Amino acid sequence: MKHTKIKTNHGLTIIIVFIFLFGIVIYLVTNANKTYAPQTNMATNGGKTENFQSKDLRFSIQTPQNFQIKASNTGVDIIHADTSIEIVRNGTSFPTLSEYITDFDSKRNIKAKQMANVNINGYESIKRYEERIVGGVVKNPKVYYIWIDYAVYILSTDSEDLFPALDQIAQSFHYAP
């Protein structure tokens, strides 16, 4: 009888662990690729923008109207036609953005072309044009790096057509802890 009780407890434990893991998998699958329909507001320049906040990545931005936003737990893609702007958040132990970028560049095949310190709502930020070789193809993205509390937000696009939208989105960036 004692032997049966032990089997029942192990069986119950296995069932509870299985249900818990199944719940985690369902949560991750349903939240992995959310597409948002942001609220529309009027921008100060007369054009329409949409508010977007990523609770997972802890930021908010204004995007131009008619851009689709696809968010996951690791990044946000802001899509227009067949091009996109990507936003990712990397944790870091570097105390400054310049130290982070020096390390970041040393580990990748990236050449910085033009680089400037910029003020993005009081956050330590760098805007630069890069040259990257990806799969034998040379890409020239425009990239914003924003350092906040040991995290670096990277906003970038390879599409020159989206450079003005990237500038607008970067300037609207706010940390949302």
CA angle 109, 112, 115 (to 5 degrees): 155
Superfamily of domain 34-175: Mog1/PsbP, alpha/beta/alpha sandwich (3.40.1000.10)
CA 103 – CA 15 distance, rounded (Å) = 46
The whole-number pLDDT of residue 36 equals 44
State percent of the chain over pLDDT 90: 62
H-helix or E-strand containing 25? Answer: helix 2-31
Sequence ranges of the domains in the chain: 1-31, 34-175
The whole-number pLDDT of residue 17 equals 65
- The residue-averaged pLDDT of 9-19 equals 69
The whole-number pLDDT of residue 7 equals 47
Taking only the tens place, the pLDDT of each residue in 21-49 is 655 555 555 554 444 444 434 343 346 88
Convert 123-150 to b/e letters by CB count within 10 Å (16 or more is b). Answer: bbbbbbebebeeeeeeeebbbbbbbbee
**Chain centroid to CA 8:** 46
| Helix boundaries (H) for the chain | 2-31, 97-106, 163-171
The encoded tokens of residue 107 equal: 């580990």
The encoded tokens of residue 2 equal: 């004692």
Q: Could you give the 3-state DSSP secondary structure of residue 137?
A: strand
Taking only the tens place, the pLDDT of each residue in 82-135 is 999 999 999 999 999 999 999 998 888 889 999 999 999 999 999 999 998 888
